[in-house]
Chains A and B, each alone.
Chain A
Amino acid sequence: MSKNNILIAEHISMQFGGVLAINDLSINVGVNEIVALIGPNGAGKTTAFNCITGIYEPTVGKIVFDGHTVIGAFPKNRQKKDFLGTLPEHEIERVSNTPDRITRKGMARTFQNIRLFGNLSVIENVLIAKHTNAKQNVFSAVLRLNSSEEKRMLEESKELLDMQGLIEYKDERAGSLPYGLQRRLEIARALALDPKLLLLDEPAAGMNPQETHELTELISKIRDDYKLGIFMIEHHMDLVMGISDRVYVLDFGKLIAEGTPDEIQNNEHVIDAYLGVVEENA
């Protein structure tokens, strides 16, 4: 099992001051698997994403991506004394990586509040992602000695846009696209990095049922075409239940359930977390 896991996160905790945003979260995502992370608002889903992608440095935890430890954190001295959660038994070796380095190892993400390069054209957005894996240097780029490389980048970007149905908008300003298309462009841009794992932060936020349905198909298609792992945060239950292989449920920073969509739908803790607990003495 663990051999086929592209992402393994162990004992992740993230404390902001006196708030424990994530408490001892352990997650794994397999190659070619769609995994969803759900939970009520403020449960710590996006924080978990930011820890995995290196934007935040977690207080405790270890993240292994594609067989390499990319992040390891363990509190010391003062931080250890102030830590509110439970520490794992063994100390974790410290490893830290910047978000761009983690991305270059093959982890691509989209953002909850779309973060496109709004004033650049649609195709430029994708080309910027392509730059990361291009073989060139400043001099060859300035003197146009890299034209074959540039041509390849352009072809591949066009292909990606074509797949996402964005090719007709390729010269439009990215910021002027309608919302649904901006989401698609963000996914295209992430795919341009040739990732091994794709993290989607609420890909269906603000979409209508029709768009959500299309997105569901798109996500399964991406998984099948690119053979990559997909880890997503989502609120739309029909999307999550429709395509996920496994679902994790987070509430107040703690993992309260894990399993197949069917198991989750009938899990008492999950129902309590979403609908509230009936207090006996009320």
Chain B
Amino acid sequence: MKTKNKNSDKNKYRICSAAVFILCILLLIFLEANKYKYSYITGILVRSAIYALVAVSMNLVTGFTGLFSLGQAGFMAIGAYTVGILTIPVAQRPAVYYMNGISPVIEKMYMPFWAAIIAGGIFAAFCAALIGIPVLRLKSDYLAIATLGFSEIIRAFIASPQLNKITNGSYGLKNIPSFPNLYTIFGICAVCIALIVLLINSSYGRVFKAIREDETAAQAMGINLFKYKELSFVISSFFTGIGGGLLAMFMGSIDSKTFQIALTYDILLIVVLGGIGSVTGSILGAFLITSGREWLRFFDEPLTLAGINIPLFRAGFRMVIFSILLMAVVLFYRKGIMGTNEFSWEAVFNLFKKRNSAGAGSGRSDIQDNHSDDGVKRILNDREA
């Protein structure tokens, strides 16, 4: 009897997943068809998807392998510049490089965007492998400082006058072609995240988690710490590089200032808020933070209530509110939205059951509204208790 119930539950969850998947596809088709009408919201969603990819790959290193690395912006810059240099149409290059001239080496080098994105990922992974050899011998905070420094070095390197003919120095790159359609960008992000999830759930992912839990014990299990740390770091940087490449294509023009430390912090915020060690948490966090930042624009406009000008409402106030919200989350909800758990329909349905039996009067719409973030939080609270 019990097993039968379980099976029917499983089917129910499958149907739910399929429904959500189809809904997402329909939304995509709708947005693709009305690209210009909804360009604002499309932009937010694309940026969220890219940040989700970078956040998940940061989670691989920070949440699953336990290495606190802050080099994301650097690896994104590598990926972005690789894609930029390789995909700007050859005819437009003289216009882009009109101040410094273009190096003959790259003048005719052109790749289709997908090849350029992979090249960007590989180049970022290569740099990660080099930097990883000395840096991954460090632990915790020291590793964070070293990778942060590396990220700044990359940025300074890109902006340096010696590389003017390749990176166009402080002028940056522009006219980077965008994606052919929305499916491409979301498809690439989805495939990359799926690959990372497959890795995390494989035997190698278990080894990463073992290193996170206890390095000495992992070593006593015959695990070569350096080899696996390097592996995790390189794979993470590969996908971060791809994320950077996608960002370059999305933004169309990039310069070294795009990849300041603030970008790393954005990603770190997403990871922390979503839950360190939770892939679905990172994805959820990416969409919440990126879109939350836009929704809060309300605070940037002057507000007059009953003839009184409310004093604090002006440009920049949005970021104050945003920071306060983040502080509140970190103070009162330290584990982030998901903790180390992953999203599951079971948890969502359990929540429905509990709520329905608890308050018969509460309306259904209320439940639906809270489903995405507050609901999940509550489930996890229950589970922890």
Contacts and interface: CB of A to CB of B under 8 A. Distances in A.
A111 B222 contact: no
A117 B225 contact: no
A120 to B, nearest CB: 6
Given A100-B223, A142-B198, A143-B198, A131 B203 contact: yes
Question: How big is the B interface, by class?
Answer: 20 to 34
Contacts of B225: 100
A103 B202 contact: no
A218 to B, nearest CB: 20
Interface in A75-121: 98-101, 103-104, 108-109, 111, 115-120
B233 to A, nearest CB: 13
Interface in B217-240: 217-225, 231, 235
B42 to A, nearest CB: 31
B221 A116 contact: no
A193 interface: yes
B217 A116 contact: yes
Interface string A179-215: 0000000000100010000000000000000000000
Contacts of A130: 203
A115 B215 CA distance: 10
A138 B231 contact: yes
Contacts of A133: 222
A103 to B, nearest CB: 4
Contacts of B222: 100, 103-104, 129, 132-133, 193
Contacts of B202: 141-142, 144, 150
B209 A117 contact: yes
Nearest to A53: B220
Contact of B221 (A55, A101, A132, A134): A132
B204 interface: yes
A128 B219 contact: no
Closest 7 CB pairs of A and B: A132-B222, A103-B222, A115-B217, A117-B213, A141-B202, A104-B222, A99-B219
18 contacts: A55-B219, A98-B219, A98-B224, A100-B220, A101-B224, A103-B219, A103-B221, A111-B217, A117-B213, A118-B213, A128-B207, A129-B221, A130-B203, A131-B223, A141-B202, A146-B203, A150-B202, A153-B203
Interface of B: 195, 198-199, 202-204, 206-207, 209-210, 213-214, 216-225, 231, 235, 340
